Structure 1
Amino acid sequence: MALKSTIYKATLQIADMDRGLYADHTLTLALHPSETEERLMVRLLAFALSVPEDDHDGALVFARGLSDTDEPDVWRHALDGTLRQWIEVGQPDERRLLRACGRAGQVGIWAYAASTLIWWQGLATRMARQRNLTVWQLPAAQSQALGALAERSMQLQVNVQEGQVLVVHGERMVELHPQRLHPAP
């Protein structure tokens, strides 16, 4: 018998001073049986830091990700069906990255494992020409602290200022410092 996904619900309040974005989102996320809460929370963070100001040209939504190899973790289609954003969490292989860059207007990668720099060093020169690709590294200790905030029902505040991210859940908070690996800062 196949294991079922676990459902998480999040009320997300975003105050992104860097982009001038202030928004509230009520989200339902499915934790795939092979996924950790750390990865789930990095997906949620990727959503918060990538969501557009409005959805007049399509909404950013969670895709099937781990359940479907043809879909990313998060994506946005324009109203005409054009794929605007493709967002992956983890360390996708070169073929998947190139396919995503060919299909979407913007591709974002959110890598969070301790091995991220080794993974990226192996791909950096081959991905240098991909102008629509942005790769972010979330230090492993910070992503683990973010994962510790996970609960089946969450009310999160995500505050962004000068590249620093503060995620608050009740009395607990995690400060994050995402580092852009590509394009080089």
Structure 2
Amino acid sequence: MAQKARVIKAQLQIADMLRHHYQDYSLTLAQHPSETDARLLVRVLAFALNASENLVFAKDLSDEGEPELAEYNLHGDIELWIAFGQLDEKWLRKASQKAKQVRLYTYGGRSVPVWWQQNQNTLQRFKNLQIWEIPEASVQEMAGLMSRGMHLQCNISEDQVYISDGNQSLSLEPRLLKDFS
């Protein structure tokens, strides 16, 4: 019998001093049975870093042809496609063709530099692709914030992201591997 996705509710307060974006969000996330708490919190972090009124999570995590997190314009076109993990060139090419901008948030500790070394030259040709690395220690710390009803505050200033749930807080510094160009 197939396991069902777990529903996670998150209240997210964002203060992004870089983009001057200050907003509260009520998020409902589906956590696939195979998805770790750490990966779900990476998705929440990506939402906070790119938050806008038109940024939405996919309704079905199993649909590989659609972004897990995306910003759509009024015509339904994908302005921003956000992906996670260490994806192959074929998948990123497809996303780059469908969206105006693509952001990939990688994580996974020591495997990220190996993946980046193997793919860096090939991925340079995608002018609308930006790649970020989330340090593994930060990903594991974020997993400690996980609960079915999260209340998180996220402050973004310069290169630092501060996340707190009222009881514990952490600081992390995403690292830019590839910028748009």
- Say whether the fold is shared (TM-score over 0.5): yes
Matched, 1:148 2:144: yes
Match of 1:134 among 125, 130, 134: 130
Q: Could you tell me whether the CA contact under 8 Å between 1:64 and 1:72 is conserved in 2?
A: no
* 2:66 match: 71
Amino acid at match of 1:49: L
Structure 2 counterparts to residues 46-85 of structure 1, below 5 A: 46-52=46-52, 55=53, 59-64=54-59, 66-85=61-80
Q: Could you tell me whether the CA contact under 8 Å between 1:64 and 1:71 is conserved in 2?
A: no
Give the secondary structure class of the aligned counterpart of 1:181. Answer: strand
Partners of 1:65 and 1:87 in 2: CA distance: 15
Instruction: Please list the CA deviations of residues 33-60 of structure 1 after superposition, one character each: whole Å capped at 9, or x if unmatched.
Output: 11000000000000110113xx3xxx11
Aligned length: 179
Structure 2 counterparts to residues 2-17 of structure 1, below 5 A: 2-17=2-17
Give the secondary structure class of the aligned counterpart of 1:2. Answer: coil
Amino acid at match of 1:128: Q
Give the secondary structure class of the aligned counterpart of 2:126. Answer: coil
Query: RMSD between aligned alpha carbons?
Result: 1.2
Pairwise CA distance, 1:145: 0.4
Structure 1 regions of 5+ residues with no counterpart?
A: none
- TM-score under structure 1 length normalisation: 0.93
Partners of 2:114 and 2:148 in 1: CA distance: 33
Partners of 2:82 and 2:179 in 1: CA distance: 16
Partners of 1:87 and 1:65 in 2: CA distance: 15
| Percent of residue pairs bearing the same amino acid type | 44
Instruction: Please list the CA deviations of residues 7-62 of structure 1 after superposition, one character each: whole Å capped at 9, or x if unmatched.
Output: 1100000001111111110000011011000000000000110113xx3xxx1111
- TM-score under structure 2 length normalisation: 0.95
Structure 2 regions of 5+ residues with no counterpart?
A: none
